[in-house]
Structure 1
Amino acid sequence: MSFPTSLSSLPQREAIVDALYRCVLAFDTADLPLLESAFYPDATFDMNGAVMAGVPAIRTGCYDKVSKLDTTHFLSNVRVNLVEGENKAKVTASALAQHYRPGQGNEPGATRLMSGSLYFVDVEKDESDGGLWKVRSWKMKLVWTEGDWGVMTEN
């Protein structure tokens, strides 16, 4: 399954938040082009102090592991701080993620790892890519987890 990397006629704030939605949907559906559309090539992703610099590092350090799992990521409490006329914005969000081993998401009693996080994301409008908003830096603060961390390492 593949999703479009840009949607037509989005109001500016929705277009900004869409960068985050593209990223988490890419993890949940293993859609690499969608992931790549969400980040500048030299973007950084900081997961609790483990910093990945550049899309190749984000891919090998996080995406390649998580996208193989049965996952869902939900964003809420999304706030956008945009100065009118600027092509940069700061976005904060709360996130809930559920992770199951591949093919086990629908099995009753399957081992899982759930997490709650806070996201702090700097985005910029990429005029060279049709005005698509993309992540420049993403900081994820893992607040809590419940379940088995082995889900993340035992594929």
Structure 2
Amino acid sequence: MYVTSHQALAAGSADPVAVAAELRDRAEILDALYRFGLGQDLADRELFASAFTEDAELDFRPAAAKWDAEPPLMTGRAAIVDTILALFADRVDTTHQVTNARIAVDGDTARLTALVEAQHLLSADHATYALLKNPYDVELVRDGDRWLIRRMRIDNAWFAGEPKAIFG
């Protein structure tokens, strides 16, 4: 489920071309997750949508189960973008920080593990908030020179505040 290899790069140091190609892939893979987070934070529909394949799947159910919520499995880029952005529009201010990223590339597919700290504050009352520390398990596919999220599973390590006030 999570990327737990004992080294960062698969390419050997004796092959600088392979190392450079793998580093480029890793940067583009991380960028998909950054587009996911920043797209939400800026309410930028185009940026947010650019993170996903057309048939993407976003599973927030493992995280939401920690506060007894039961959101649906989101499938399809349009449904994910519409659902998430509508949930927060003019109601919730968000910020996302990505840490501890681990990446495994296998040809035109990749797996990304990361911790994401997400702050969600009601726009009208920042005293009502949910601070979440979420482990992400992400499957990606190559799309030309960039990478797109095909499947994202979000769990929750801990939370503070009132997630039900933010997510319903």
Q: TM-score, normalised by structure 1?
A: 0.79
Superposed displacement of residue 151, structure 1: 3.4
Cα deviation, 1:98-137, whole Å, max 9, x if unaligned, reads 11112544xxxx221111111000011113xxx2210010
Q: Which residue of 2 aligns with 1:136?
A: 150
- Say whether the 8 Å CA contact 2:120–2:129 is kept in structure 1: yes
Q: TM-score, normalised by structure 2?
A: 0.74
RMSD of aligned Cα (Å): 1.9
Amino acid at match of 2:138: V
| Aligned mate of 1:87, from 92, 108, 125 | 108
SS in 1 for 2:123: coil
Q: Which residue of 2 aligns with 1:45?
A: 58
Q: Which residue of 1 aligns with 2:142?
A: 125
Amino acid at match of 1:88: T
In 2, the alpha carbon distance for the partners of 1:117 and 1:25 equals 16
* Aligned: 1:76 with 2:99: yes
Q: 1:51 to 1:14 in 2, by over 3 A?
A: same
Q: Which residue of 2 aligns with 1:112?
A: 129
- Say whether the 8 Å CA contact 2:117–2:132 is kept in structure 1: yes
Which consecutive residues of structure 1, in runs of 5 or more, have no partner in the other structure?
1-9
Superposed displacement of residue 141, structure 1: 0.7
The percent identity for this pair of structures is 32
* Aligned: 1:26 with 2:43: no
Which consecutive residues of structure 2, in runs of 5 or more, have no partner in the other structure?
1-22, 63-71
Amino acid at match of 1:57: A
Question: Which runs of 4 or more aligned residues in structure 1 lie more than 6 Å from their structure 2 counterparts after TM superposition?
Answer: none
SS in 2 for 1:96: strand
Count of residues in correspondence between the two structures: 136
Which one has the bigger helix percentage? Answer: 2
Superposed displacement of residue 62, structure 1: 2.4
Q: Choose 1 or 2 for highest CA Rg.
A: 2
Q: Which residue of 2 aligns with 1:152?
A: 166
